[in-house]
Amino acid sequence: MATTYTRPLDTASADTHVRKLQNFVGGKFVEGGKPFDVVNPATGEVHAIAHEADADIVDQAVKAARAAVEGEWGNMTLAKRRALLMRVADRIEERFDEFLEAEIADTGKPHSLAHHLDIPRGAANFRIFSDVIASLSTETFEMDTPDGGKALNYAVRKPLGVVGVISPWNLPLLLMTWKVAPAMACGNAVIVKPSEETPSTTTLLGEVMNEVGMPAGAFNVIHGFGPGSAGEKLVAHPGVRALTFTGETRTGTAIMKTAAPYVKALSFELGGKNSAIVFADADMDAAVAGLSRAVFLNTGQVCLAPERIYVERPVFDAFVAGMKAKAEALKPGLPNDEGVDFGPLISDEHRRKVLDYYALAVAEGATVVTGGGTPQLSGAAANGFFVEPTIWTGLSQDARICREEIFGPCCAVIPFDTEEEAVRLANDSDYGLASSIWTTNLSRAHRVGQAMEVGISWVNCWFLRDLRTAFGGVKMSGIGREGGVHSINFYSEPTNICIKL
Ligand code: NAD
Ligand code: 6OD
Contacts of 310 (CB under 8 A, 6+ apart): 275, 276, 277, 278, 414, 415, 416, 422, 425, 426
pLDDT at 148: 98
Domain residue limits at 256? 54-270+478-500
Contacts of 317 (CB under 8 A, 6+ apart): none
Please return the burial class of 463, using the count of CB atoms within 10 Å of its CB with bins 0-12, 13-18 and 19+: middle
> Ligand 1 in contact with 225 (CB < 6 A)?
yes
Active site residue 461: no
pLDDT at 17: 76
The CATH number given to whatever domain includes residue 372 is 3.40.309.10
Out of 186, 303, 402, 410, the active site residue is 303
* 327 and 379, same domain (yes or no): yes
DSSP 315: G
Whether residue 97 lies inside any domain: the answer is yes
Whether residue 2 lies inside any domain: the answer is no
Out of 196, 269, 312, 388, the active site residue is 269
DSSP 378: -
Ligand 2: residue of 303, 405, 407, 461 to mutate (most ligand atoms within 8 A of CB) is 303
What are the Cα distances from residue 266, in Å, to 47, 213, 243, 244? 34, 29, 5, 6
234 alpha carbon, closest ligand: 1
* 350 and 428, same domain (yes or no): yes
- For residue 298, the ligand 2 atom closest to its alpha carbon is 10
- For residue 433, the ligand 1 atom closest to its alpha carbon is 41
Ligand 1: distance of its center to the CA of 89 in Å?
25
Ligand 2: distance of its center to the CA of 32 in Å?
33
* 343 and 252, same domain (yes or no): no
- For residue 471, the ligand 1 atom closest to its alpha carbon is 40
Whether residue 154 lies inside any domain: the answer is yes
* 123 and 266, same domain (yes or no): yes
Query: Residue 265: how many CA atoms within 13 Å on its side-chain side?
Result: 19
The total number of structural domains in the chain stands at 2
* 174 and 305, same domain (yes or no): no
* 325 and 189, same domain (yes or no): no
Nearest CA to ligand 1 atom 39: 269
* 409 and 304, same domain (yes or no): yes
Closest CA to 362 of 329, 322, 410: 410
Active site residue 453: no
- For residue 465, the ligand 2 atom closest to its alpha carbon is 1
Whether residue 48 lies inside any domain: the answer is no
What are the Cα distances from residue 398, in Å, to 364, 401, 410, 412, 425? 10, 8, 17, 12, 10
> Ligand 2 in contact with 407 (CB < 6 A)?
no
Nearest CA to ligand 2 atom 3: 178
* 253 and 316, same domain (yes or no): no
> Ligand 2 in contact with 465 (CB < 6 A)?
yes
Q: Model confidence over 332-365: pLDDT tens digits?
A: 999 999 999 999 999 999 999 999 999 999 999 9
Closest CA to 374 of 395, 358, 392: 358
* 304 and 243, same domain (yes or no): no
479 alpha carbon, closest ligand: 1
Whether residue 4 lies inside any domain: the answer is no
Ligand 1: distance of its center to the CA of 344 in Å?
18
- For residue 194, the ligand 1 atom closest to its alpha carbon is 9
> Ligand 1 in contact with 73 (CB < 6 A)?
no
* 202 and 108, same domain (yes or no): yes
* 132 and 63, same domain (yes or no): yes
The CATH number given to whatever domain includes residue 216 is 3.40.605.10
Ligand 2: residue of 297, 465, 482 to mutate (most ligand atoms within 8 A of CB) is 465
Say if strands 23-25 and 434-438 run parallel, antiparallel, or are unpaired.
unpaired
Whether residue 20 lies inside any domain: the answer is no
Under 8 Å between Cβ of 12 and 36: no
Ligand 1: distance of its center to the CA of 166 in Å?
8
Whether residue 32 lies inside any domain: the answer is no
Three-class SS of 40-58? ECCCCEEEEEEEECCHHHH
Whether residue 249 lies inside any domain: the answer is yes
Nearest CA to ligand 1 atom 20: 231
* 344 and 443, same domain (yes or no): yes
State the 10-residue block means of pLDDT for the chain, 501 residues long.
38 62 98 98 98 98 98 98 98 98 98 98 98 96 98 98 98 98 98 98 98 98 98 98 98 98 98 98 98 99 98 99 99 98 98 98 98 98 98 98 98 98 98 98 98 98 98 98 98 98 97
Give SS3 for 211. Answer: helix
